[in-house]
Amino acid sequence: MSNTRYEGFIPGSHVIDGYGAGGFRFADMSHRGSILALPTGILAWSPLSAQEITPGSLQALFDAPKGSVELLLIGTGRELVPPTPELRAVLREAGVRVDSMATGAAISTYNILLGERRRVAAALLAAP
């Protein structure tokens, strides 16, 4: 029996099976709060609003191996909130395209692109 503890992290790429009530379902588990889904795993993510999505809040994305992510989908809750020009510029400089949409649409798009084995990541705000 393993005593490994993943401090808000589950390794590997996983389809997002569901969302709502302030959380997400993936990898036969549920998580309450926002998540950052990267090719290396899914992390608990601190932002609660679109205004809190900054280059600093996405540091794990920037720490990922160069070229492992070509597109970041940002799920901004129930309503679309475009990323700030600063965030767009930092992502562009890192070679990552960005698309912002409501969380439900971002999950659907992420799951499709993940199934196509695309280099995609998703920053998903939990919706109440």
Full set of structural domains in the chain with CATH = 9-124 (3.40.1230.10)
pLDDT of residue 10: 87
Measured distance CA(67)–CA(42) in Å, rounded: 18
Kind and range of the H or E element at 113?
helix 103-115
pLDDT tens digits, one per residue of 16-74: 999 999 999 999 999 999 999 999 999 999 999 999 999 999 999 999 999 999 999 99
Give the percent of the chain with pLDDT over 90.
89
Give the separation between CA 127 and CA 119, rounded to whole angstroms. Answer: 25
Structure confidence at residue 13 as a pLDDT band (50, 70, 90): very high
Q: For the stretch 16-41, what's the b/e string if a residue is b when 16 or more beta carbons lie within 10 angstroms of its beta carbon?
A: beebeeebbebbeeebebbbbbbebb
> 87-123 pLDDT, tens per residue?
999 999 999 999 999 999 999 999 999 999 999 999 9
